Structure 1
Amino acid sequence: MGLTSDKVLALAVMAAVGLFVGTVWLWPRLARRGWRAVTGRVGMLLSTQLMLFVAVGLTANQAFGFYASWADLFGQETDQGVVVDHTPERGPLRVVDTRRVPGAASASPRTGGQIQKVDIVGRTTHIATPAFVYLPPEYFQPEFRTRMFPAAVVLTGYPGTAQALVDKLDYPRTAARLAADGRMRPMILVMMRPTVAPPRDTECVDIPQGPQTETFFAKDLPDAVGGHYRVNRKPGGWGIIGDSTGGYCALKIAMHHPGVYAAGAGLSAYYNAPIDPTTGDLFHGDEELRNRANLWWYLKHMPAPDTSLLVSSSKVGESNYMDTLKFIERVKATNLTRISSIILESGGHNFNTWRREIPGTLEWVSERLTGR
């Protein structure tokens, strides 16, 4: 049974309840002196507390999507996601599954849209990663058969799961509702992790002698999606959204590649790539690469990118609040890069906060992208 299985959670809860009841029931027998009784009491208490911790941890993981499997949890994922494509007859994007949009009134794609699970292989970077693609109902309707749709890449935080963007953050259902209400234009969403070389957190950097993650998002991903779907590949057709680590990636990639991404939205983002045990050495002594990954440095020393940025934070509950205000002022000083913000009165670094920000973010991105 998998880490995110409801059966595993149910067993953990039952075990915790059983140990609690057993502790209460057996306590009188263990209320004696002697090492055996003391050991029994300590064992019962520790077992109960441990199982309670496991149950709470499994519940939190299901709610926030921190880890997708037992191997992910224990750091046993060794597949770096870097492959060489030896089958030129197969395109860089392959659909492996289709599913109904959660909450859709109909299973028909023409009325409810569709979610496709895909495998993507970068032509230049050879990075291989899965993703979910949301196609709006209009994509399947005959009157729109020649329409080229705007598209937005949607990134999780680290470690995150792409499935959480569908089930927990409700991107497809929110986009469908907003489009039906006339608040945003129909748009294709490409939902995935920024961790395309798991378990390493690459921070969307082109790592010397390592995964070329920024190039994957800036070139390979738009090329793969544009070659398979009716996506507007001209300037102004693509946006990128992310939360936490994905938010930093979204801002950085939009700033570095304004000719590809006309808009970048960072929800609860930070503004410089960290170096920690999950990232390893990202720059290998390359000072220019380190500077480019620092958005503060980039705004000060590089030409202002002709793109639109959105940042979000909360006055209470988010550690990036003051940095976000400073970032807004730094961008405004460029007189070219456009900046918008969502500032909540309170909200933590979690799914509940991002769900409050996603509708406004999708509307904002939609206004800045074009189809044809």
Structure 2
Amino acid sequence: MGLMGWPLLVAVIVLAVAGPVACLYLWNRVTGRLAVAGRLFMIVICQVFAVLVGGVGLNHYFEFYASWSDLFGGGKGGGTPIEQVGAGGTGARVRFERTAKVDPDVYTATVTGERSGVRSRILVWVPPGYGSPANAHQTYPVVELLPGYPGTPSTWFHAVHGAIALKEAMASGHAHPFILVAPVTTVVHGRDTECVDFPGGPRVETWLTDDVRQAVTRAFRVQPDRSAWGLMGFSTGGYCAAKMAIRRPDLFSAAVTMQGDAVPQTPEVRRDHALFTQNSVLDLLRTHRPPIALLLAGTRQDRGSDRAINQIMPLVRPPTTAFLYVLPKGGHNASVWNSMLPQAYAWLSARLSAPHPS
């Protein structure tokens, strides 16, 4: 039984209901010297079932962990091979395989980064018509999607409707086609690395920038120029998107941060002054003026993102540009991020190049 999906959720709900019923039935039947211990045990079991329902239900909605291997570590991802995507670029190709577990238009591969040494998974969604013979020479812009923590790349295709929202925006004429790339950001199980290159490893930023880009460029018909590559993330992923665009303007020209922080939150980064400064959006904007565009999205009710936006905006200087998309209401959740996606895709379409023949 998978960690995601209805079977597990239904099973824990049944257990949560059956537990109190069994407790009522057995309460007065437990007698003797073990009566107190037995009744305490029944109470604890009922509480455990209740906590399980809450945990599984939250994971079902937010998809913090997509599989048992994501939860306990050691998983490498992948799926059943169906077809190999035609490659562009040079060098050794990575085999991306289609998997129905996420989305029929999503391909996945486990990649070892040549520069970072990180071995992890990348999901790639191709837009409608990508495989059509009529579009065989069409190349596409890319939006790299970054989840929050804890979270997995498949969150972008379930709880957060990354592909659905793009297809709807394309159908309405508000966005042009993109290839969506969702890499694993939690490359070390249980460790929130906040997309940082740590001295001595792991080199997470290098994985998410150079290595992911190289793997995707070699396997798909994507435009390699920075003007065709953007970043978008929510929560921790939003912070990562802004930070990496500022640090790597040679690779990206636009970034959308949805309720992202302005500075690192991980204690091990905050304890290292040099590392903190190198990865703080605020410190970077004080010393860097890269030719990039930022969309800062948040809500007035989410104090963290509202504070981050108010800290970032005064530091933006040309040629860096920043745009605001602030909703009056909304918490820090998938419903808010989904409501932001149509505007985000329209904004990215106005700043990243459109598909064109190679």
TM superposition score normalised by structure 2? 0.86
Query: Is 1:77 aligned to residue 85 of structure 2?
Result: no
Structure 1 contact 318–348 (Cα < 8 Å) conserved: no
- Residue in structure 1 matched with residue 325 of structure 2 by the alignment: 342
Measured on the aligned residues, the alpha-carbon RMSD in Å equals: 2.7
* Aligned counterpart in structure 2 of residue 253 of structure 1, from 241, 244, 250: 244
Q: 1:58 aligns with which of 56, 59, 63?
A: 56
Letter paired with 1:183: H
Corresponding position of 2:336: 353
- Supply the distance in 1 between the matched residues of 2:238 and 2:158 (Cα, whole angstroms): 19
Q: Look up the equivalent residue of 2:66 and give its one-letter code.
A: A
Deviation at 1:70, TM superposition (A): 4.1
1:324-339 equivalence runs, <5 A: 324-331=309-316, 334-339=317-322
1:159 aligns with 2:160: no
In 1, Cα distance between equivalents of 2:20 and 2:176: 54
Q: Is 1:311–2:307 an aligned residue pair?
A: no
1:295 to 277, 281, 286: 281
Q: 1:48 aligns with which of 46, 49, 53?
A: 46
Partner residue, 1:97: 98
Mapped contact 2:246–2:288 kept (Cα < 8 A): no
Change in CA separation of 1:100 and 1:136 when aligned onto 2, cut-off 3 Å = farther
Aligned residues: 343
Does residue 16 (structure 1) correspond to residue 19 (structure 2)? The answer is no
Paired residues of 1:101 and 1:172 also in contact (CA < 8 A): no
Distance change >3 Å, CA 29–CA 216, structure 1 → 2: closer
Corresponding residue for residue 235 of structure 1: 226
Q: Which residue of 2 aligns with 1:110?
A: none
SS of 2:122's partner is strand
Unaligned 5+ runs, structure 1: 82-88, 108-113
Match of 1:143 among 118, 134, 137: 134
Question: TM-score scaled to structure 1, two decimals?
Answer: 0.83
Equivalent residue letter for 2:284: Y
Deviation at 1:267, TM superposition (A): 0.9
What's the secondary structure of 1:340's corresponding residue?
Answer: strand
Identify which range, 190-199 or 170-179, moves more after superposition: 190-199
Q: Which residue of 2 aligns with 1:217?
A: 208
Query: What stretches of structure 2 of length at least 5 have no aligned partner?
Result: 78-89
**Which of 273, 290, 308 is 1:323 aligned to?**
308
How far apart, CA to CA, are the structure 1 residues paired with 2:332 and 2:299? Answer: 9
The amino acid of 1:10's aligned partner reads: V
Measured against aligned partners, the alpha-carbon deviations of 1:63-88 in whole angstroms (never above 9, x if no partner) come to 11122344544xx426899xxxxxxx
Does 2:160 align with 1:175? no
Alignment partners' CA distance in 2, 1:77 and 1:90: 31
> 1:161: Cα distance to partner?
1.4
1:264 Cα offset (Å):
0.8
Contact 1:100 1:115 in 2 (8 A): no
Distance 1:10 1:98 in 2: 25
1:308 positional shift: 0.5
Identity %: 29
